[in-house]
Amino acid sequence: MEASRPLRPVAGRGDLDRLVAERASSLACVFCDMDGTLLTPLSRLPDGLAEAVRRLQSTGVRFVPATGRTLWSIRDILSPLGDLGSELDLVAGNGMDVIMGGRSLVHLEYDRTLLRELLDAVRSDPARPGMVVYDQAQPYLLNMSAETFFSGRQPTNEASLFAEADGLPRGTVVKAALIAREDPERVAARYADRFASRLEFAVCGRHWIDIPLPGAGKDAGALALLRGLGVGPERAIAFGDSMNDAALMGIVGGSVAVSNALPQLKGMCSYEIGSNAEGAVVQALEALADARLRG
């Protein structure tokens, strides 16, 4: 095996030491949220990611992005990794798409009649939320101006793709979300009551509410992938920062929150490391790889 290297200082060191000691030897799969967890605050890949992933995967551990982003969006984000990025297994669209070994393992689509009902509810809502729907190429912003949506937000690699629209795009919708002007937990709860058993609503930040289909979610996508790999969930860990990661945290052997995670998620996780701004996930991957390479 490759000789291990001295560990770099890591924020949240105590929990990382415990994570490595308790999980490294039996580890088979690492699921990692992207926005707010792995990606920098400017939605870029952190420095050192490619080397850390290659070293970890050389020990037999698969690194799997598990994201609310659509397949086209996450593939665009991972494109700087070259062949490594294109070869990774993926849980995308909050479990709406699962890719294993380069082939589609799961693919779910929204019913357009249900989405039109949701859009009608959004348009009649006194709280004036926005709605975002994604087709195979770009996101569309409904019931909210782009100026309002991007006010005070950090630019992302998708910013230039958002288009204001009056209705649903003609093609297949692969992701949907709500944008709450305030109190996203209350907005999510109201819509969850109205669309119970038909749509789910997961708060992912100060304004964003993801809308996976029931039976989808990162947990279902991860379980489908683990079954395909023949790996039990107890041999997996997951990194995350928001409530669309919560169900995933509940099925894996080790749940890890970054320090900038929502307090509700931190309370559900077994470990806490540093923030996405510090590149804490990359440092954790390096530490896990080093422990496994030491044997």
Q: Does residue 1 register a pLDDT over 70? A: no
Convert 145-173 to b/e letters by CB count within 10 Å (16 or more is b): eeeebeeeeeebebeeebeeeeebbeeeb
Please report which confidence band the pLDDT of residue 220 belongs to, taking 50, 70 and 90 as the band edges. Answer: very high
In this prediction the pTM is 0.84
**DSSP per position, 105-139:** EEE----HHHHHHHHHHHHT-TT--EEEEE-SS-E
When pLDDT is averaged across residues 191-200 and rounded to a whole number, the result is 95
Specify burial of residue 192 (Cβ count, 10 A radius: 0-12, 13-18, 19+). middle
For residue 212, the model assigns a pLDDT of 87
Q: Which domains does the chain have, with CATH numbers?
A: 13-108+216-293 (3.40.50.1000), 112-210 (3.30.1240.10)
Contact criterion met (CB below 8 Å) for 149 and 159: no
Phi, psi of 62 (to 5 degrees): -90, 135
Report whether pLDDT(137) > 90: no
**Closest C-alpha to 210, from 188, 189, 183:** 188
What's the rounded mean pLDDT across residues 251-273? 95
| pLDDT computed for residue 138 by the predictor | 87
Q: Give residues with Cβ within 8 angstroms of 75, minimum separation 6.
A: 85, 86
Which range is least confidently modeled, 81-85, 171-175, 254-258, 266-270?
171-175
Give the model's confidence band at 202: pLDDT under 50 very low, under 70 low, under 90 confident, else very high: confident
**What is the average pLDDT score of the chain?**
90
Give me the mean pLDDT over the 98-126 stretch: 95
Residue 17's Cβ-count burial label (10 Å; 0-12, 13-18, 19+) is middle
pLDDT at 199: 95
Q: How confident is the model at residue 156 (pLDDT cuts 50, 70, 90)?
A: low
pLDDT at site 152: 56
Q: What percent of the chain lies above the pLDDT cut of 90? A: 73
CA gyration radius, the chain: 19
Q: What is the mean pLDDT of residues 97-110?
A: 94
The amino acid at 16: L
Closest to 64 measured CA to CA, from 217, 203, 218? 218
Residue found under tokens 């930040």: 205
pLDDT of residue 3: 38
DSSP E strand stretches across 135-242: 139-142, 163-164, 175-179, 202-203, 208-210, 236-240
Q: Are 100 and 225 in contact (CB under 8 A)?
A: yes
Residues in contact with 225: Cβ distance below 8 Å, sequence separation at least 6, in sequence order: 29, 64, 89, 91, 98, 100, 105
Q: CA torsion sign, 25 to 267 to 176 to 215?
A: positive
